[in-house]
Amino acid sequence: MRRRLPDADKALPRQDRGEKPGGADTDTDTDADTEAAAAPLTAALVAGARRRFFRVGAALSIAGSPLPLLLPPGPVGAGWLVSAFLLLGVASALALRAPAQRQPDALTTFVALDSIALAVAASNYRTSAGDVPLALFGVLACVAFVGAGRRAGVRAAALQLALLVALHALWWPGVAAEVAGHLVRLALHAINIAAGTAAGLLVAGSLASHARNAAEREWRFRRLLALAADAYWETDGQHRLQTVTDAAQERGELIERQAQVLGREPWTLAGFACDAEVLRRLRADLDAHRPLRDVPMRWTGAPEPAATATPRHLLVSGAPRFDEAGRFAGYWGLVRDVTQVHAAELALRASESRYRELFALSPAPLVVHRGGDVIDANAAALALFGAASLDELRRTNLYDFFEPGEPRERAYQRRDAILKMPVGTVLPMADFRFLVGGRLLSVRAAGVCIEVAGQGAVLVIIADDTERLAAEAAVRRSETLLSHLVATTPDLVAVTELASGRFTMVNPAFERDLGWSAAEAVGRTSLELGTWWSPEDRPAFAQALLESGRVLHRAVAFRTRGGRRLDMSISAARFAMQGRDYMVISGRDLTAGERLRQEREAILANASVGIAVTRERQFVLANRLFEQMFGWGEGELLGQPGRVVWPDEATYAEIGQRHGPALGRGERVEFETTMARKDGSTLLALMRAHAIDPVQPRDGGTVWIAEDVTARREAERALREARSAAEAASRAKSAFLANTSHELRTPLNGIVGLAALARNPALDATLRQRYLEQIVDSARALAAIISDILDLSKIEAGRLELERTTFDLGELLRALQQTYAPLAATRGLALRFEVDESVRTGARGDPLRLRQVIGNFLSNALKFTPEGEIVVRARRRAGGPGAEPRERVRVEVHDTGLGIEPAARARLFRPFSQADESTTRRFGGTGLGLSISRELAALMGGEVGVTSEPGRGSCFWLELPLPEAVLPAPAPPPVSGSLAGMRVLLVEDNQVNMLIAVAMLEGWGIEVEQSADGAQAVQALQRALAAGRLPDVVLMDVQMPQMSGYEATRALRALPGLERLPIVALTAAAMVDERERSRAAGMDDFLTKPIDPDRLRAALLRWRPARATADLPGDAA
């Protein structure tokens, strides 16, 4: 059972409760505190003794209650005595359950009643048997003193003496004969009571002394607890908190109230916090009954922490407790509050982190050392000392870098001095020199005494002044040198302030040349001194300076103090100093030799070629153009070896071997070669060279004149290539014209010759008919050649129009087969068409141009296949990305002809070209067919190609997009004789064309009126308009003398009543712009010459008025 001392920690001395000792009264206060602590402890001991007495009294009363029944009977019945003792036993047992504050009174009452009961029992016996109950009076008196206090004990003793006197008075009559013995018995009983009283007083005092000693031990324990820890704790065998005391409990800094935490496991409290791994190990140690040592935990200061509570950091230690039987009884231990230590550690780590960051990133070299042995150094220090790593620097003593002698000894003295100073002491900067890698560095160093790992060390802060001091020394040297140069140069030097124009410095040459001393010139302007020979030259000079910032080698005339003219070459530049603008002027007297030098420099500067001079294989002079030509900056080439402008050493040596002997003889050399620029690129240069001194050519050097001819040679090469291409084109066109002339003359001769034969009136009709058919064939051949030429010209001009209509692709291929099958048969060739079913559908495209391309392929195959067969294959193929799957059509024309050499295939599809010129002579043709086919295929979004093997035949293929389309319903057949009765005005200046057209029109039953030019047509239509007999259609030639068809149409459209008269253009120029011009002039339709009867008939049918067909056969119904 747990035992606590209630409010025991209130007995701590005031100094342990945060109170200060009180001088001389400290010991008295300590005794008082001890007494105050002993009182509750005494009370606890007495209470324990009282409880034990109640238990013993109850047992003895109940157990001794039968004794009166064993003794002889007396005046008082034995039953009453038995009952009395039983009641006393029960009362004693009940007293154990009485409240603690009521138990002293209960004990007093028990002692009184027990004393009375014993006296009554003794009254029954006059003999010695009555002494036995009375002997217990001393024990009861002792118990009263110990268990109920001094007053209760005195009252119990007094009651017992009174009972004893009364009892002996009762006994006196019966013992008169034995007075002495009775008095002895009375005295003995009184002594028993006195002994019991004395024993009670002694026991009570002993308990009080024991309590004082225990309180003092408790005080010492708590004093040590306050010094060694911040709290004390105990747990039971189930790790539940049983005791928690806190040196600061009254302030509530760790645990507010024990009642809120006792009986609970620490890790179940809301205010408890601990790392998961630490908690796991803690519970394992507790379950294994192992000691605990400095277990880190966090506590918010209350069982239920607020959201903003700041946790306290604790270290918990403890040891297991075991009872007398060796059974585990729990833990007891101490708690130390290390919150401030934890905060200090965090602050220290943050401070160290900031220090390390500043140390590492500082641009100033920082070194920490102890006696010269490097502990740490930042990157700047490693760079300063030329160390690749910190370990490398640690292998060298820092003082080894100091310059030997007095500087190193001074560094040792500063080291010894700072180590004797307190931490934080700073030694001021001092100048030193370091020897690092053979270089002497000028530095300033300061030292700070610091502590590293508990020992003194020195932080050295270094500033490298080497570059600054070198720069300052260079400036001083430059100033000294400049002053010396200005003072000793033979050239005039002066400095003026730009704002005022006043001289601020002049050199002795100024005094010598112009005659004004420095004292006279400084502070005055050139105008005041009158140094300008022509003052009007001054503004131009100033303006040039302001615009470019400097003036170079400008010829100026000055006036000396004596009035003499002095011609000088002046250079000037502006500069700023201390917030003001100045101008420095240098001038040189232009003697005859100087003028010659300037002229030479002017020639070099303005030459259109690069000029350089080499001496002993080094450049000693080069004009700006030479430097620019070879990619060098101004003045960079001087002093460079001559080799730098040549591509490689081998070229340089080869040029030397080839031209060196001639230069050595004083001769001039000229050659063209590849030279090298500074960046490694090359140029083609025309080089000319000669010795400066022809008499001693090897002594005076060599003049080199370079001209970049890269662009010129490239232009010449391009010109040659263009000329060659033009000549080849010219030859091709000449061959084409010669071939075309032959091709044109052949059918033309046939037409002329056969026409002459057909004119013979005596000619047989059958023969004449044959001649006429051959004339028609020759005319068609001639028209085909002319059409090819015209198609090519339209393609090259970009004016070929494509039709996009829906047509029957399968029918087009069948028509081609029907056309070319008889031609193949006449040559003994087989012609097969293998047409995939996917092609026998409608398609959308230009059927005329498609037929033209495939016809060209077939014509070539027929022409170049002496025997064998020709196969045409057609199928649909999948389109490109995003295209419809059945959009593209591929047509291939295979033959078993001659085949084509690989070299000839490249020019097959070029204009005016065939595989071989002998082909033209052998097979004929213009060479335009394949070229036109390629261009037509490209215009239709497709492509053409060829595969061939000499001697085994060729395959010409065409692939182009021809999307599938639904064929329109077939048009009704044209009505025969539907043009009869029409009136047509034919305007044509060529009599032959007029004759042919009139014959066609009249053959269809058309009434024809003729006009020879546009003016006649306008007049004829005006008359017809007046007469009310306008023609149904006007066929208008567009190219006529006097008034063209365009002009006539515009004139007609301007006349009222002729705005809607159908006008059809007739032209031999089938260009796109001709069609557009016709429409712009007001014409309604367009036909090309030679006039095709079917197209002419179709056009007339389109513009036939309704009245012209009203009387046609069948219309009346």
Instruction: Dump pLDDT digits (tens) for 130-159.
Output: 566 776 777 777 777 777 777 877 887 787
Q: Tokens for 474?
A: 């260079």
Q: Please identify, among 800, 832, 859, the residue that sits at the C-terminal boundary of a domain.
A: 800
305 lies in the same domain as 385: no
Q: pLDDT, tens digit, for every residue of 771-805? A: 787 777 667 666 766 766 666 666 666 666 777 88
941 lies in the same domain as 849: yes
Backbone torsions φ then ψ of 1005, nearest 5 degrees = 85, 20
Mean pLDDT, residues 985-990 taken together: 92
Task: Check whether 16 has a pLDDT greater than 80.
Answer: no
Q: pLDDT, tens digit, for every residue of 808-823? A: 999 999 988 888 888 8
Rounded to a whole number of angstroms, the distance between the first and last alpha carbons of the chain is 139
Task: Check whether 340 has a pLDDT greater than 50.
Answer: yes
Distance CA 664, CA 669 (A): 11
Output the pLDDT for position 961: 94
Whether 702 maps to a domain, the answer reads yes
Q: pLDDT, tens digit, for every residue of 875-900? A: 998 655 444 555 899 999 999 988 88
Decide the pairing of beta strands 503-506 and 492-497. Answer: antiparallel
Output the pLDDT for position 341: 81
**Which residues, other chains included, contact 443 with Cβ-Cβ below 8 Å and sequence gap of 6+?**
431, 432, 433, 434, 462, 463, 464, 465, 466
Whether 842 maps to a domain, the answer reads yes
Distance CA 434, CA 574 (A): 42
CATH number of the structural domain spanning residue 668: 3.30.450.20
SS (H, E, C) 343-378: HHHHHHHHHHHHHHHHHHHCCCCEEEEECCEEEEEC
Output the pLDDT for position 920: 45
**Which residues, other chains included, contact 497 with Cβ-Cβ below 8 Å and sequence gap of 6+?**
504, 580, 581, 582
Output the pLDDT for position 742: 52
Whether 326 maps to a domain, the answer reads yes
Task: Check whether 123 has a pLDDT greater than 90.
Answer: no
641 lies in the same domain as 667: yes
301 lies in the same domain as 405: no
924 lies in the same domain as 822: yes
66 lies in the same domain as 188: yes
Binning pLDDT at 50, 70 and 90, where does residue 482 land? confident
**CA-angle at 772, arms to 770 and 777, nearest 5°:** 95
Q: pLDDT, tens digit, for every residue of 159-183? A: 778 777 777 776 656 555 566 666 7
Whether 336 maps to a domain, the answer reads yes
For CA atoms 769, 774, 780, 782, give the dihedral sign.
negative
795 lies in the same domain as 813: no
Percent of the chain with pLDDT over 70: 78
In the numeric block, the tokens 């028609």 are attached to 776
1018 lies in the same domain as 1103: yes
Domain count, the chain: 8
Percent of the chain with pLDDT over 90: 21
Task: Check whether 1110 has a pLDDT greater than 60.
Answer: no
Residue 797, CA atoms < 13 Å, CB-side half-sphere: 13
CATH number of the structural domain spanning residue 778: 1.10.287.130
Domain housing 316: 229-343
Whether 1100 maps to a domain, the answer reads yes
535 lies in the same domain as 625: no
1003 lies in the same domain as 1043: yes
Q: Please identify, among 343, 372, 399, the residue that sits at the C-terminal boundary of a domain.
A: 343
